[in-house]
Structure 1
Amino acid sequence: APLEGEEDFIYPGDACLILLVIDQQFCLQIVFVVLSHIIDIEELTQKKLF
């Protein structure tokens, strides 16, 4: 039982670190998707202009 209690104290920090890493990767994916959409829109507008 004491070992399980100690693990409970250790895990929250590890979980927070893992969540931070996942959030960073997720944010990067969102940024790339948004940038790709913006680039597509710019290409479409340029084609319409020309």
Structure 2
Amino acid sequence: MRSLMFQVADRAQISPFRLSFSGTLNIVRRAVPKFQRLQPEEIPFFSPGL
């Protein structure tokens, strides 16, 4: 989770300390069911070999 937060903060060019751990966790929990319904080819960063 912290790694994800760092990546998002880096992309948004903000300090990772400005992000809430529990807020990020809630966002990820809401997004998981949507990603579970996608086919692998619909996920742009998916690599079958990983």
**Does TM, normalized by the shorter one, top 0.5?**
no
Bigger radius of gyration: 1
Q: TM-score, normalised by structure 2?
A: 0.35
Identify the structure with the greater helix proportion: 1
Higher relative contact order (CA 8 A, sep 6+): 2
Q: TM-score, normalised by structure 1?
A: 0.35
